Copies of this chain bind each other. A is one copy, B any other.
Amino acid sequence: MIVGLGPGPAEWMTPEASAAINAASDVVGYGPYLDRLTLRPDQRAHASENRLELDRARLALKLAAEDRAVAVVSGGDPGVFAMAAAVFEAIEEDPRWLKLDVRVAPGVTAMQAAAARLGAPLGHDFCAISLSDNLKPWAIVERRLRAAAEGDFVIALYNPASQARPTRIMQAFDLLRGAKAAATPVAFARAVGRADETLTLTTLGEADGSLADMATLVVIGSSETRCIVRDGARPWMVTPRAYGAGR
């Protein structure tokens, strides 16, 4: 079972995910995700480093092939920039693994948690792009950012910056500034649902890429996205259901 733990708090973890963890003899995952769980003494935790998704997937499949009840855990939704793809890639390596009963338990992903806090920025057509170029050429990221601007999608950016490459998000903003209005609303949603949650609302013209780290989800509006100003509180960021109604 490939299990999504959601963005962090227990209130965002589905009952299916909780039941899958509970039923597992072995839980495989990136260390910080395992740290969120309280396992029983009879359950084995297999922690590994961040970038080793394929090793993690192989270990999980090997254990499952030994008739262990395995849960592979991901933050957010395992299907969105997370462990599900890695497990299926690993399955292709060994025909015996094709016979395993593999299931995916979806979860709330970072962009949904961010959207919930911000108002309704994803209320209309949107796209999700990972700025990580570990596994894809930067040229495809640029092509997708251009296409997203051309299609006037709301854009959710995952992995906007890492310690190794802190400037990806600046490059993305620079590219989008050439294609979208400077007044386009932009939000930085960091660690949503966790103790150090931070939300920053700005515009594409003013957006400071250095606010983003690996725990940040960046949302960039479409031409229709607007901010609803409130007294004494952060504005709501909303993409209305209708397109072109205000023009």
Contacts and interface: CB of A to CB of B under 8 A. Distances in A.
Interface of A: 6, 9-16, 19, 53, 77-81, 84-89, 91-92, 98-99, 103-109, 112-113, 115-117, 119-130, 135-137, 140, 143-144, 146-148, 150-153, 228, 230-231, 236, 238-245
A68 B25 CA distance: 45
Contacts of A107: 108, 112
Q: A89, A136, A140, A241 — which one has the most chain B CB atoms within 10 A of its CB?
A: A241
Given A91-B228, A128-B127, A104 B99 contact: no
A238 B112 contact: no
B19 A14 contact: no
Contact of A144 (B10, B79, B125, B137): B125
22 contacts: A12-B106, A15-B15, A79-B116, A84-B115, A85-B124, A85-B240, A85-B241, A88-B119, A89-B238, A89-B241, A99-B230, A106-B116, A108-B108, A124-B130, A126-B127, A127-B151, A135-B241, A135-B242, A137-B243, A143-B151, A144-B152, A147-B147
Contacts of A150: 143, 147, 150
A48 B13 CA distance: 29
Contact of A89 (B115, B116, B146, B240): B240
